[in-house]
């Protein structure tokens, strides 16, 4: 089976960038960003932060005030064009070959990206490499044990632009157990957080009363015993070694 190359993925996300922010200011997508930020912000406070796959900078621009400095990296020049317009320090590059020295960051985070990286083991090694000893990683995966997985299986690939669908990008669905096995040996898995645990379909967040109720329920489910069933599963890990802070 042939998988897309970095060039294929770059073309996909360059195309996706045209409408990427269309519905992200409110409702379902804003809820996802809020929950992801609630996980990353406490880990970022006062430190050097890298977001891998920062896209147009929607999360990074909100995370930056918590950090001493915050950088973003993305494969797509068109995505980064919008991030630079937000005044963010971002660089073009691949998750599998990060252009930063060893031990550079207190926090490395990534959201909605790693499920689309074919060589996930290399990407994880790279993200751990640039994390300082004692630093943390907040890494989000797509979870096979979730309502979101079932919904995607039933609905099929969604459209991202004219002529393109989600089927045009490599996508992997993992489980808490498989994620734990993939982590490099020099990190310790500390915990999981579950994003979109209870939402059956994104459209419910467009309904005023029902949307508010689901958003509140998702905030509670993030760290609850149900978190392992989140459609987006965030692993929090710490790199072994003595902290320099």
Asked if residue 16 has pLDDT above 90, the reply is no
Note the pLDDT of residue 1.
44
Are 1 and 24 within 8 A, CB to CB?
Answer: no
pTM across the whole model: 0.94
Q: What percent of the chain has pLDDT over 70?
A: 97
Report in angstroms the alpha-carbon separations of 50 from 61, 117, 177, 184, 197. Answer: 12, 17, 26, 18, 26
CA angle 134, 40, 52 (to 5 degrees): 80
What are the tens digits of pLDDT across the range 196-231?
999 999 999 999 899 999 999 999 999 999 999 999
Note the pLDDT of residue 68.
97
Note the pLDDT of residue 5.
72
Note the pLDDT of residue 159.
85
Report in angstroms the alpha-carbon separations of 133 from 68, 88, 110, 203. Answer: 18, 26, 19, 42
Note the pLDDT of residue 205.
95
What are the tens digits of pLDDT across the range 76-128?
999 999 999 999 999 999 999 999 999 999 999 999 999 999 999 999 999 99
Q: How far apart are CA 157 and CA 159, in angstroms?
A: 7
Note the pLDDT of residue 3.
56
What are the tens digits of pLDDT across the range 138-162?
999 999 999 999 999 998 888 888 7
Q: Does 207 or 5 have the greater pLDDT score? A: 207
Can you tell me the mean pLDDT for 183-207? 96
Report in angstroms the alpha-carbon separations of 3 from 115, 168, 172. Answer: 13, 10, 12
According to the CATH classification, is domain 6-239 in 3.40.50.150? Answer: yes
Note the pLDDT of residue 60.
98
């Amino acid at each position: 089976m042939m998988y897309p190359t970095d060039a294929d993925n770059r073309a996909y996300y360059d195309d996706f960038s045209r409408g990427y922010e269309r519905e992200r200011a409110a409702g379902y997508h804003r809820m996802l960003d809020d929950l992801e930020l609630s996980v990353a912000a406490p880990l970022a406070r006062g430190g050097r932060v890298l977001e891998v796959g920062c896209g147009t900078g929607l999360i990074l621009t909100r995370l930056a005030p918590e950090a001493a400095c915050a950088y973003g990296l993305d494969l797509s020049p068109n995505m980064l064009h919008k991030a630079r317009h937000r005044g963010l320090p971002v660089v073009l590059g691949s998750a599998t070959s990060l252009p930063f020295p060893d031990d550079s960051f207190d926090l490395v985070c990534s959201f909605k990206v790693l499920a689309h990286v074919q060589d996930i083991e290399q990407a994880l090694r790279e993200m751990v490499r640039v994390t300082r000893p004692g630093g943390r990683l907040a890494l989000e995966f797509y979870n096979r044990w979730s309502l979101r997985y079932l919904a995607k299986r039933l609905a099929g690939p969604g459209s991202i632009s004219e002529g393109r669908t989600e089927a045009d990008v490599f996508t992997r669905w993992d489980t808490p157990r498989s994620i734990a096995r993939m982590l490099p040996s020099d990190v310790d898995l500390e915990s999981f957080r579950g994003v979109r645990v209870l939402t059956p379909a994104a459209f419910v967040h467009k309904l005023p009363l029902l949307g508010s109720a689901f958003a509140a329920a998702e905030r509670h489910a993030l760290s609850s015993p149900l978190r392992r069933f989140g459609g987006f599963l965030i692993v929090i890990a710490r790199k072994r070694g003595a902290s320099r802070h």
